[in-house]
Structure 1
Amino acid sequence: MKPIFQDLVYRARDTQTDKIVALKKVQMDKEKDGIPISSLWEITLLLKLWHPNIMELKEVVMGNHLESIFLVMGYCEQDLARCPFLRLRYGWIVPVKCIILQVLKGLQYLHENFFIHSRDLKVCNLLMTDKGCVKIVDFGLARAHGVPLKPMTPKVVTLWRKSLMQEIHVPDSLPRAVGCILTELLAHMPLLPGMKTSGQHVLQPYNNLKHKFPWLSEAGLRLLNILFMYDPKKRRTAGDCLESSYFKEKPLPCEPELMPTFSHHRNKRTAPSGVESPGKR
């Protein structure tokens, strides 16, 4: 399944600090009236936020042309959608727990500041540094929300999310997005890999999570049921999920700095100072 769009991201070196940064190019191909509203919103939002698990925006720079605008962000060595150690058959539960804990902490921070990421939170929106710190990225569809919660237009881009995310409050859809991420990391494949929109709305009439993950502990199954449950009277927040007994039973999640990393594979390539190498995320 090909993605609808890809962000062009360059690996570059800051000549003043000598640190590696990421340059995310603002897509201007079809714009005639300036910077796209999604990019403006992403810039505005990231300038207001700071959290270890939220991608930081350092500055906005312009290239040789007006169409060459880049967001200067922190550099992450690994894309979790293509991370080698998550495809191992044994011993991957410890890092998976560490990843989900960090995602929940980032979402908790967003919600406490009355922001939501989007309904398209997914594995490829998660990057990781060589120190094991997971960063939530891609805030072009993020929104502010208030109290009481109000329905918002469903901006679901990924086909595999549509059956779970539509026609409910956006904040309520985020635990389901985390549930999809957790199941994908555990099973090494998407939970609902439909090939077209119509097929995505044919769901199982019963809960088959226990059959899908027979090796998962009772605490793990309870967490999945909480994440996928939708009941306005029993709304669960990211903070509630952080208290799950799944993260307190063995095997315990490791500390981020103990996460396995493979940064040396990407750092083998050398290039002159300045922009070092482009990549697509």
Structure 2
Amino acid sequence: MNSVNNTSNGIQELSRHESAQDVLRTTKSDLKDAVKLKYKNVLRKKTKRSHRDKNCSTRQAKHVAVATTPVPPSRHVYQSRRSLEEFELLNKIAEGAYGAVFRAQDEKTKEIVALKQITTDNKDEGLFKAAKRELKTLLKIRHPNIIAGRELVVGTNMEEVFVVMDYVPRDLRNYIDSMTKNKQLVSPGHVKCLMVQLLDAVQHLHKNWILHRDLKPSNILLSYEGVLKVADFGLARKYELPPRQYTPGVVTLWYRAPELLLFANEYSTHIDMWSIGCIFAELITLQPLFPGSSECDQLFRIFEGLGTPTDTTWPGYSELPVGKITFKNHPTGRLRETMSNRLSDEGLSLLQDFLLYDQAARVTADAALNHPYFEEEPVAMEPAMFLPSLWAEYVEQNSNSDTGEDTQ
């Protein structure tokens, strides 16, 4: 019992600040350099050439050579940025660790967009590195089921840098809560529609060597037309094969893979797939699958729901620090009991594949999309078939927050 308590204390001693510093160790010049480009043209106009000698000609030739060098795509975005004055800020819609998000209107096109402020304060180098990493991801990724950055917007000073994104006012958390309030279950066709879109998005991320590392219902946006878009790349990062060491303190607790709870610092795409499995189960039951109150409680709930791991179900488990601790022996099969009347056999098979302890055997996004579950009847519904009456009720209830003028 003392060993369990010691493990609990050890887990709790990993503070959020320490995790952030491990993940977000930084350099601090790139983003400020990008913002400074706004002022370079003005400075160039003020520069007077006072020398016409050979050395000056040589320097000029070098400038020409640099100018003809292909500019990376991200630099093109930086150079085409617009002024914040071209947008009307309507209201703040979110406040995160790396900057606020505003609902705004493009004065030129009258389109409603989201402006995400990017941290440029280098006093906290960890947060600055995270903000820069998120910006690079937003500007690089292009997929219909991923919220991408369109362009940069710069204010009157170097601290005001925003990335323009599509504005989608609802998320999967809202959808699940609305269904719960109306005492309705999500139909199999709707579940498959959402899961296919989510898997498509994550497949695209993984093919581009990007881990999201914080998949959860509130980070998955959903339009009135039923189009799903993965958002919030504050914890996303590039990954490598073989896996390198990363910080384990990522992913919101309820959707965190067991290897992260045991402080594994070598991981890959498998952690995103575990999160998708938890989201899949939540769409079926409208309740979080493992709603732990702490890291230890989360681990106990997983063991209780899936069975206590062994070296057979989790190769190398006994070699982990926690493997030396004796946990209550929970049998497997409880997940089947929980889902017996809510999922087909193929659906249960897919859910179990998402939630395997063995990372090497855990299903990939590619394999999940080709699972027989998506081929059996009823097939995935078209996004446009989502319940319009449900969305209409949600809009009426939340009209004040969408049209508010508070920007504080």
Same fold (TM over 0.5): yes
Shift of 1:197: 2.2
Write the distance in 1 (CA, Å) between the matches of 2:224 and 2:171. 11
Write the distance in 1 (CA, Å) between the matches of 2:121 and 2:233. 19
- Paired residues in the alignment total 273
2:350 is aligned with 1:256? no
The root-mean-square deviation of aligned C-alpha atoms, in Å, is 3.0
Write the distance in 2 (CA, Å) between the matches of 1:46 and 1:91. 31
2:154 is aligned with 1:59? no
For the Cα contact (< 8 Å) 2:185–2:285, is it kept in 1? no
The unaligned stretches of length 5 or more in structure 2 are 1-15, 17-93, 305-329
TM-aligned CA distance change 1:73 to 1:257, over 3 Å: same
TM-aligned CA distance change 1:265 to 1:65, over 3 Å: farther
Aligned to 2:349: 222
2:193 is aligned with 1:98? yes
TM-aligned CA distance change 1:6 to 1:164, over 3 Å: farther
Q: Which moved more, 1:192-201 or 1:96-105?
A: 192-201
Quick one: which of 81, 90, 96 aligns to 2:173?
Answer: 81
Paired residue type of 1:24: K
Quick one: which of 81, 88, 101 aligns to 1:9?
Answer: 101
For the Cα contact (< 8 Å) 1:85–1:260, is it kept in 2? no
Aligned to 2:5: none
Q: 1:9-158 alignment to 2 at 5 Å? A: 9-26=101-118, 31=123, 36-63=128-155, 66-83=158-175, 85-87=178-180, 88-118=183-213, 120-158=214-252
Q: Which moved more, 1:131-140 or 1:59-68?
A: 59-68
Write the distance in 2 (CA, Å) between the matches of 1:199 and 1:270. 35
The unaligned stretches of length 5 or more in structure 1 are none
TM-aligned CA distance change 1:223 to 1:195, over 3 Å: same
TM-aligned CA distance change 1:227 to 1:56, over 3 Å: same
TM-aligned CA distance change 1:255 to 1:30, over 3 Å: same
For the Cα contact (< 8 Å) 1:98–1:254, is it kept in 2? yes
Paired residue type of 2:184: R
Write the distance in 1 (CA, Å) between the matches of 2:193 and 2:406. 29
Quick one: which of 154, 158, 176 aligns to 2:274?
Answer: 176
Look up the SS of the partner of 2:193 in the other structure.
helix
Write the distance in 2 (CA, Å) between the matches of 1:132 and 1:210. 29
Paired residue type of 1:207: G
Shift of 1:255: 1.2
Structure holding more helix per residue:
2
Write the distance in 2 (CA, Å) between the matches of 1:270 and 1:122. 22
Quick one: which of 261, 265, 274 aligns to 2:396?
Answer: 265
Aligned to 1:239: 366
Shift of 1:86: 3.7
For the Cα contact (< 8 Å) 1:22–1:74, is it kept in 2? yes
Look up the SS of the partner of 2:269 in the other structure.
helix
2:278 is aligned with 1:188? no
Write the distance in 1 (CA, Å) between the matches of 2:249 and 2:127. 20
Which has the larger Rg?
2
Look up the SS of the partner of 1:60 in the other structure.
strand
Paired residue type of 1:69: V
Q: Which moved more, 1:84-93 or 1:53-62?
A: 84-93
Write the distance in 2 (CA, Å) between the matches of 1:251 and 1:257. 16
Q: Which moved more, 1:231-240 or 1:35-44?
A: 231-240
Aligned to 1:213: 339
TM-aligned CA distance change 1:136 to 1:51, over 3 Å: same
For the Cα contact (< 8 Å) 1:152–1:170, is it kept in 2? no
Write the distance in 2 (CA, Å) between the matches of 1:77 and 1:92. 23
Write the distance in 2 (CA, Å) between the matches of 1:165 and 1:92. 32
Q: Which structure has the higher relative contact order (CA within 8 Å, separation 6+)? A: 1
Paired residue type of 2:148: E
Write the distance in 1 (CA, Å) between the matches of 2:407 and 2:184. 28
Look up the SS of the partner of 1:36 in the other structure.
helix
Q: Which moved more, 1:231-240 or 1:14-23?
A: 231-240
Paired residue type of 1:97: K
Quick one: which of 214, 237, 255 aligns to 1:161?
Answer: 255
Instruction: Write out per-residue CA displacement over residues 202-259 of structure 1, whole angstroms, 9 at most, x where no aligned residue.
Output: 1223231111112111011100110011435535210100111222222222112222
Task: Normalising by structure 2, report the TM-score.
Answer: 0.60
For the Cα contact (< 8 Å) 2:151–2:163, is it kept in 1? yes
